[in-house]
Structure 1
Amino acid sequence: MPKVGIIYNDEKPIANDIAVELQDKFTNLGWDVSIATGIGGILGYSTPRSPVCHTPIEGLTPPGFDSSTKFVIVLGGDGTVLSASRQVAPSRIPMLAINTGHMGFLTEAYVNQLPSAIEQVLEGNYEIEERAMLAVKVFRKESVLWEALCLNEMVLHREPLTSMCHFEIAIGGHASVDIAADGIIVSTPTGSTAYSLSAGGPVVAPGVAVLQLVPICPHSLASRALVFPDSEPVNIHPVNATQLVMTVDGNGGCYVFPEDRVTIEKSDYSARFIRLQSPEFFRILREKLGWGLPHIAKPTSVEIP
C-alpha cells in the first residue's frame, strides 16, 4: 500500500478543509495516509531560568512519517514549509508545498492548482530539488543545550534588539575575527532572500554550495557580509556580559549565555522539494520580489541630424 503524508497549518481554515479532503481522497485511492500539523516542527524556546530545551533534530518527525512515505503535501505559507522541512528532512521525504498563505516564496503551487499538481505527481512527472540545511547547536562546555535544523537562517542578537553585541567568530580552520554589531545572521542560499536580504546580504542561487555571514547594523565599515564554502563549520562565542537570544528560521530559539558557544554546519539532511517544472530561480525572484523589473522607461535611440 503506497503511503502519503499531509502537513497543514491548523490556524488557517482553508488548510484544515483541504487536509480533510485530501485524507479522504487518498484513502479512497487505497493509500495509507499520515497527517500532522505544522506546529510539530515549531522549535521550543528556552528561558533564562530553564536554559535547556533540547529536542534532538530527529525528534520532530511525526508518527507515521518514515522513509516509506512517497511524498508529503504541505498546506500553508512559508512558515509552514519551514516547519515541515524540519519534520520530514530526517526521513528524506519530498514535499509538495501548496500555498495557502501570502508570499509563498518556498511553495510550488497555489490552492486552485492543487488537483492538477497532485495528478502530475501521481504520474511521476516532476523533479526533486534539494536545498541545503544547517545543523545549529548551542553548547555549554561539551553538553548540547539546544539544537535544530535550519533551512533559512540562524540569528543571534541581544534582547531587545537595541544595543551592540560583540562576537568572536571562527569559520573553518581560519583565525577568529571580532565583530561588533546588533546581531549576526548565518544564512543558507535559501535564506539569502529572507532576513539576510533585509540586512544587506547578497542573493545566492540555491544550487551554490556556500553559506553567508551577515552582521546586523555593524559598528564598522569593515564588517560586511561574507560568503564562504558550506563545508566550513562556524563557531560563535558571544563576548557580552549578559545573555543573547538565538532564533532559527524566525520561530524558535534559545538563550545564549557568555559561557556558551554556538556551532553551525551544513547538515547531512536536506529539504527535498517537488518541482512541477524545472526550477527557475530568477523567475521566482521576479514574481515574488520584483527583481530585475524596470522601474523607469528605457531610453530610446535619438537620431542625430
Structure 2
Amino acid sequence: MRPCPIAVVPKAGIIYNDVKPIACRTAEELRDKLISRGWEVYMATGVGGILGYSSPDRPVCHTPIDHLNPPGFDSDMSFAAVLGGDGTVLSACRQVAPYSIPLLTINTGHMGFLTETYLNQLPQALDDVIDKRYEIEERAMLTVQVIREQSLLWEALCLNEMVIHREPLTSMCHFEVEIGKHAPVDIAADGIIISTPTGSTAYSLSAGGPVVTPNVPVLQLVPICPHSLASRALVFADIEPVTIFPANSNPLVMVVDGNAGCYIMPDDQVRMQRSPYTARFIRLGPPEFFRLLREKLGWGLPHIAKPTSVELP
C-alpha cells in the first residue's frame, strides 16, 4: 500500500506600513482571507528593512544584509504582499531579497512608483496571484559597503541609489571615483549619486540624470551641483565595481535608498557592486515602463495646442 501524499500548505507573507491605519487594517483583512483559503501567513512591518541612521556620536547603525529577513519568511514562501508606499517597498526588498520572494506591491501611499496595484483592485489581484496569472520582473540591486582600515564597517542592499553628500554648513566636497579598471576621476560637487536603473526616476532624475529603462544592465554616476561644466552624468556597465574615496577633511553623510545612512570619515572607502540578489516584482500584466512614466511623471504626454491668437481692435 502506497503512503498517502502529505498535503503541502502554501505560504505567503505580508509586509505593511504600520504607521498607516489603512495598511494595518488591510493587512489583517488580507491575512484572514488567505487563511480562509488554506494558506499559512506570516506578517511583518516594513520597519525591519530600515537600517537606521547614524549620528556623530554613534557613527554606525548596521544590520548585515542577510540578517534582515522577518521570522517565517524563507525560500518556501510563494509570495509576499507589500502594503504601503515606495518607502515600504524599498524596505521589503531588503527583507526578502536573500530568499528571492516575489512581491505583490499594493499602493497605500502617495506616488507609488514601485507599486503594482491599488487597494480597490486587491481582490482581483489576489485571485490572479493565487492562480499564478502573473509575470515576474527582476530589478537589479547594489551591495553598498563602507570599508575602514581594511575592515567591513557597514553594508546595505540598494534598489534605488547610494548618495554621499556634504554636511550642512560645510564646503564643497571632492571625490575620487574608480570605476572598474578605468583611471580614477576627480569630482568636485555637493555630493555624488550612484544609481540603478530603478533609481533613475528618483533622486538621480532630480539631479539631472537620464531615465534608464529597468532592463538595461547599467549604473549611472550623477554629481550633485558639480563645480565644473564638464562633470555630468555618466552611464556605465553594471559589471563594473565602483569605489569612492572622499578627499575631504570633514566627515560626509551617506544615504542608501533614502532610509539608511552612515557617516563617512576622510579615510573611509565606499565600495559598490551589483548584488547577487535581485528585487522580484509580481506584474499582473506585461511590464510597461513608458506607461508608468506617463502616469506618474507626465513623461511623453501630447502637447496641448496654444489657443489661436485673436487680433485686438
Question: Per the shorter chain, which TM-score range?
Answer: over 0.9
Between the aligned partners of 2:180 and 2:55, the Cα distance in structure 1 is 30
Letter in 1 for 2:210: P
Between the aligned partners of 1:100 and 1:47, the Cα distance in structure 2 is 31
Residues 236-264 of structure 1 show CA distances to partners (whole Å, capped at 9, x for unaligned) of 00011110000000111000000100001
Per-residue deviation at 1:177? 0.5
Kept in 1, the 8 Å contact 2:137–2:281? The answer is yes
Which of 127, 132, 135 is 1:127 aligned to? 135
Between the aligned partners of 2:77 and 2:94, the Cα distance in structure 1 is 16
User: Aligned residue for 2:100?
Assistant: 92
Kept in 2, the 8 Å contact 1:53–1:145? The answer is no
Between the aligned partners of 1:50 and 1:157, the Cα distance in structure 2 is 18
Aligned residues between the structures: 300
User: Aligned residue for 1:52?
Assistant: 60
The yes-or-no answer on 1:138 pairing with 2:128 is no
User: Aligned residue for 2:73?
Assistant: 65
Q: Extract unaligned runs of 5+ from structure 2.
A: 1-8, 309-313
**Larger gyration radius, structure 1 or structure 2:** 2
Letter in 2 for 1:83: S
Which of 202, 213, 230 is 1:222 aligned to? 230
Q: Secondary structure at the match of 2:28?
A: helix
User: Aligned residue for 2:189?
Assistant: 181
Runs of 4+ in 1 over 3 A off after TM superposition: none
The yes-or-no answer on 1:246 pairing with 2:274 is no
Between the aligned partners of 1:118 and 1:185, the Cα distance in structure 2 is 37
Letter in 1 for 2:263: Y
Between the aligned partners of 2:250 and 2:303, the Cα distance in structure 1 is 46
Structure-2-length-normalised TM-score: 0.94
Q: Extract unaligned runs of 5+ from structure 1.
A: 301-305
User: Aligned residue for 1:199?
Assistant: 207
Between the aligned partners of 2:151 and 2:102, the Cα distance in structure 1 is 32
Between the aligned partners of 2:302 and 2:116, the Cα distance in structure 1 is 26
The yes-or-no answer on 1:113 pairing with 2:113 is no
Kept in 2, the 8 Å contact 1:51–1:145? The answer is no
User: Aligned residue for 2:275?
Assistant: 267
Which of 45, 48, 71 is 1:40 aligned to? 48
Between the aligned partners of 2:170 and 2:152, the Cα distance in structure 1 is 28
The yes-or-no answer on 1:5 pairing with 2:13 is yes
User: Aligned residue for 1:303?
Assistant: none
Letter in 2 for 1:157: H
Per-residue deviation at 1:52? 3.1
Between the aligned partners of 1:161 and 1:147, the Cα distance in structure 2 is 27
Q: Secondary structure at the match of 1:116?
A: helix
User: Aligned residue for 1:276?
Assistant: 284
Q: What is the RMSD of the two structures over their aligned residues, measured on CA atoms?
A: 1.4
Per-residue deviation at 1:51? 2.5
Kept in 2, the 8 Å contact 1:7–1:36? The answer is yes
Kept in 2, the 8 Å contact 1:74–1:98? The answer is yes
